[in-house]
Structure 1
Amino acid sequence: MSGDTITHESTPAPRPAAGKRDTTTFSQSRAARELGLNRRQFDIAVRLGHIRTLPDEGGGGRRVAREEIERLRAQQDFPEALRKRAEAVVGTRQATEVMGVTRDRFTRLARLGLVVPVDFYVNRYLAVVWLYLADELEGFAADPNNAPLLNRPLPESLRDQLHAGLDLRPRNWRGRYLGFLLRQAGDPWERAAALASLLDPLQVAETVGDPCERAHLNRFRARPPAHGPHGSPTAHLTERITTAEDPDEIAWLRADLAGAVTEAREHRPAPRPALRHSDGGAAQDARPAPDGRREPTREDPSRGLLGRFFRRGA
């Protein structure tokens, strides 16, 4: 595990007056120090749902409430227990040391989806380095039912899948990441955006035909984890990992997205462009007609800025 555990002597923030709710929140870096975690441990704990975060009302990154930090500090064996749950091993070499298997055997188990990565990064050689939870690897190795997978020839059916090129690591990571996005979603539109975040924009457009709804989804759509400058080989590789590519995976994501948008629409319709006024002063509604086409107006908005909006979103 790279990175040393951070120890920090924190100065308690002022307490609210009796009877008042404590609304103090901390930045994620401050929260990590308060909890005795390094930043990688903190990020993993958040993704796994061990640490609850809140949206920053000022539009910044997510924050952690003081009461959440106090809840975690009150848990048994803090901070060691929390740190252990968020401890990751980096790459195949460390994973084999934890499980007591060869590098080739571990890679096969990972490609088969029997162990699931919790994170990844792209190194300077443009190789993907997967991270795994130490707790999960230790549990897998300790399970007597898994002993044949660790020290005996793999069944022929599994070997055939590997020979055919099976590698479930990216897909399993996406599934884990989707769970994280859904846990952070605050309303139905954010849940729909979480699903859209794993799909190619063209697939989103084919699933969500209304350009206004797509624009609203994009407000909440998560950006891929930052790995390299935009347009760099590292960024392109990261985008491939974070975008669904298996036909069945794409199919169920699109089906879930369509259902989520229907639910979100019923909860609160997506915002529409402001009404325009014609020369005579009457308001012209730019909303789409029921069949998806816009109602004709005396001054066709497709000729102006609004028209450019619709053409760009189409």
Structure 2
Amino acid sequence: MSGSTFVPSRPVTCAASRAARELGLRRGEFALAVHLGCIRTVPDEGGGGGRRVERAELDRLRAQDGFPETLRARVRVVGTAEGAALMDIPAGRFTRLARLGLLVPVRFYLNRYRAVVWLYLAEELRQFAVGAENAHLLKGRTPENLRGQLAAGVDLRARNWRGRHLGFLLREAEDPWARAGTVAAFLAPVEVADIVKDPYERAHLNRFRPAAPDHAAPGSPTAHLAEQLMTAHDSDEADWLRSELAHAVQEARGHSPAPRPAARHTAPARRPAAHHAHPVTPTVARHAVAAAQPASPPPPRGHETEPGATRPTRGLRAWLHRRKPRPAGV
């Protein structure tokens, strides 16, 4: 049709909560599936700031063989006891392998005693157990070099989780400032302030700073512990994140500067209006002279006016009487 503009239709999408229900996943399972790349999401073009799932993506997942069991198996997580049973090793050996960084947690939660409970992908544990290169770690005596690290107190579970979670979040960040804010979320505020000196840039980073994955009330002890787990403490890890943040902020500056408050423009002071001289009439002059005369002081207390005496005339009239010349011969 001539004169008309073709506007392509947007793909039909649904919210993450509805997509999880249609796929038969819990909220945590759905979020993990998105992080692992099992479910593709798109930005919310309606301005909500979240992520949405296209209807075509839901159709693709439902058409896979073994749905929904195969999808659930890919996001199944287990704790230490269940993971050790899955690998057919003692729970103590499982914990040592995790502390050494050989088993990387994918999630965590804080129990009612505020103790950290690490969760691992069941599929990854199964693959580790069947790998021939890992057989010496599952049976027999732990190698000497690894026993030395354990004796020194090494525990890489939190650090490895941070690295993995950072990768998850960076894959979803589509804006340079969002990527910089994601990196900043894993550093202490003093570290961020040392790299990003501009307070307006730091405020802009905070807009994209992802929250800790534990859904506790802000300011609660549980939320504080979750923030501690999300913050890098080792010097080498913090140095690497500082370098990544500096690079990310430099890239973000080149893409778009951080917003700043508009300068306030004060209105120029108004010049006083010119006073035009008006002709002074005799009546105005008389009132002006009368107003300029000082008021007569009251008579002293106890002073009586003599009978028949007239009160002195005040103001301009009295002054005129004094100035009036007497007739000759009087």
TM-score normalised to the size of structure 1? Answer: 0.79
Q: Are residues 1:231 and 2:219 paired?
A: yes
Higher alpha-carbon deviation: 53-62 or 192-201: 53-62
Map of 1:299 onto structure 2: none
Contact (CA 8 Å) 2:109, 2:118: kept in 1 or not?
Answer: yes
Map of 1:220 onto structure 2: 208
Higher alpha-carbon deviation: 40-49 or 96-105: 40-49
1:247 to partner: Cα distance = 0.6
Aligned with 1:173 (options 129, 147, 161):
161
Map of 1:27 onto structure 2: 15
Contact (CA 8 Å) 1:115, 1:137: kept in 2 or not?
Answer: yes
Question: How many angstroms apart in 1 are the aligned matches of 2:215 and 2:21?
Answer: 24
| Structure 1: 4+ residue segments shifted above 4 A | none
1:136 to partner: Cα distance = 0.2
1:128 maps to amino acid:
V
The 5-angstrom pairing of residues 101-250 of structure 1 reads: 101-250=89-238
Map of 1:44 onto structure 2: 32
Map of 2:322 onto structure 1: none
TM-score normalised to the size of structure 2? Answer: 0.75
Question: How many angstroms apart in 1 are the aligned matches of 2:173 and 2:258?
Answer: 16
1:156-215 Cα deviation digits (max 9, x unpaired): 111111111111111111111101110110111111111011111111111111111111
Aligned with 1:62 (options 39, 51, 76):
51
RMSD of the TM alignment (CA)? 1.8
Q: Which has the larger radius of gyration?
A: 2
**How many residues get paired?**
262
Q: Are residues 1:72 and 2:61 paired?
A: yes
Question: How many angstroms apart in 2 are the aligned matches of 1:264 and 1:58?
Answer: 21
1:22 to partner: Cα distance = 4.7
Q: Identify unmatched segments of 5+ residues in structure 1.
A: 1-18, 282-314
Contact (CA 8 Å) 2:109, 2:214: kept in 1 or not?
Answer: no
1:88-146 Cα deviation digits (max 9, x unpaired): 11x21111111100010000000001011110000001111111101000000001110
Contact (CA 8 Å) 1:37, 1:83: kept in 2 or not?
Answer: yes
Higher alpha-carbon deviation: 241-250 or 25-34: 25-34
Map of 1:84 onto structure 2: 73
Q: Identify unmatched segments of 5+ residues in structure 2.
A: 1-6, 270-330
1:237-261 Cα deviation digits (max 9, x unpaired): 1111111111111001010100011
Q: Secondary structure at the match of 1:120?
A: strand
Q: Secondary structure at the match of 2:51?
A: coil
1:80 maps to amino acid:
E
1:37 to partner: Cα distance = 2.1
